[in-house]
Amino acid sequence: MDTNDRRARATHEASQWWNRLSLQKPAEVSQSERELFTEWLRESPLHVAEFLRVAQVHDSLERFKLWSEVEVGGFEQPANVVPLRDMDLPEAAEVSVKARSRARTWAIAASSCLIAILGAWFALGLRGDVIESKLAERRQVMLEDGTVVQLEPETRLRVKFADELRRVELEQGRALFRVAKNPQRPFLVTAEQTSVRAVGTAFGVESRLRGVVVTVAEGKVAVIDSPSAQASGAEIFLTAGQQVTVQDSGAVAPVRVVDTTRALAWAQGQLVFENDTLADVVREFNRYNRVQLSITDAELAARKVSGVFEATDSETLLAFIRESGNDVTITRSDARIVIGSNTR
């Protein structure tokens, strides 16, 4: 990214912040939003400069007196609503995806603020260090460059920072990265054979059974699906709202446009299932909770489940399962909940 790009990006972000903080919902700016804004300002002098410039634009508009001379085409008269709407629709669809992903970015960012230890600062002795989270543990870590990593349960990262490259190896699990911008020092996440390169952006990387899943919440990343692809420069570019899965075989599923609210819901402590088997659902829940669920009935395990659950709220899941059929039995002991069927 050259200077102009960085400036353009800073301008865009400054406009977004101005819009959030000064134009809409004036009294409803939350503590976490203010924290994020402060964080953003302290990221770069460019951010400060552009925010002040946007303030200046706003001020100019407030003092502008010739509004009567501003032509607005057909947009003023409600009578023109019908043709305008038709004209708007394709753009509206495109916009809502972007807006949603943006809203989601804020949501993720905001929620990550709430996840305890904000600013746990491991500035010293981080090189080549391992950061890991245990079963049912979610944690947020700030790396020495200011990048914030949110680790989901049972996740293991190895951080290897060098002067010219920031490298993080995702050995298992999944994590959301909010990368501190530094074009001179790219940020590279590797998971198995796959590498994800970012300059300043937010994205999630999951090392799963079926492969490595990369989902971009904000900005742009390059995905390199194998070391040989890296050598040949074959990169897949993903922008906000896109997701790609690199299978273990090395096959790359096509880039998908996803609703990042759902695709990265885990970063907000939510688990989203869509036609997944109960066995998969239970496996996912077990990573987030100490009390482990198990299913004794194969038919039940294969039952399809769709829904959004709080990751730490197994009770809602159990209630959901119980309601889905009257043949379900639930047996509790100290650290286990056994889901069975009483039909056999």
Partner 1 sequence: MSNLDQQNRLVEWFRRWRTPLRRFLASRSAVRPADFDDVAQEVFLRLLRYDAAQIVEHPQAYLFKMASNVAAEWSIRSSNRLLHEPHWLATLAANDSPEQALDTEAAQREILRALNTLSPRERAILKLYFEEGLTQAQIASRLNVSFRIVRRDFEKSYGKLRRELNDELTRVLQHGHE
Binding site for partner 1 (CB under 8 A): 8, 11-12, 14-16, 18-19, 21-24, 26-27, 31, 34-35, 37-39, 41-42, 44-76, 78, 81, 84-85, 88, 91-92, 95-96, 98-100
Asked whether the CA dihedral 49, 53, 59, 62 is positive or negative, the reply is negative
Residues 132 and 123: their CA atoms lie apart, in Å, by 16
- Closest approach, Cβ 79 to partner 1, in A, equals 11
| Minimum CB distance to partner 1 smaller for 20 or for 303 | 20
**Element spanning 85, H or E:** helix 81-114
- Closest approach, Cβ 201 to partner 1, in A, equals 18
| Minimum CB distance to partner 1 smaller for 42 or for 256 | 42
| Minimum CB distance to partner 1 smaller for 113 or for 271 | 113
Contacts of 176 (CB under 8 A, 6+ apart): 108, 112, 149, 150, 202, 203, 204, 217, 264, 267
- Closest approach, Cβ 21 to partner 1, in A, equals 6
| Minimum CB distance to partner 1 smaller for 98 or for 322 | 98
DSSP symbol at 134: -
Q: Of how many residues is the chain composed?
A: 344
- Closest approach, Cβ 91 to partner 1, in A, equals 8
| Minimum CB distance to partner 1 smaller for 61 or for 124 | 61
- Closest approach, Cβ 123 to partner 1, in A, equals 15
Contacts of 164 (CB under 8 A, 6+ apart): 184, 185
Residues 218 and 203: their CA atoms lie apart, in Å, by 7
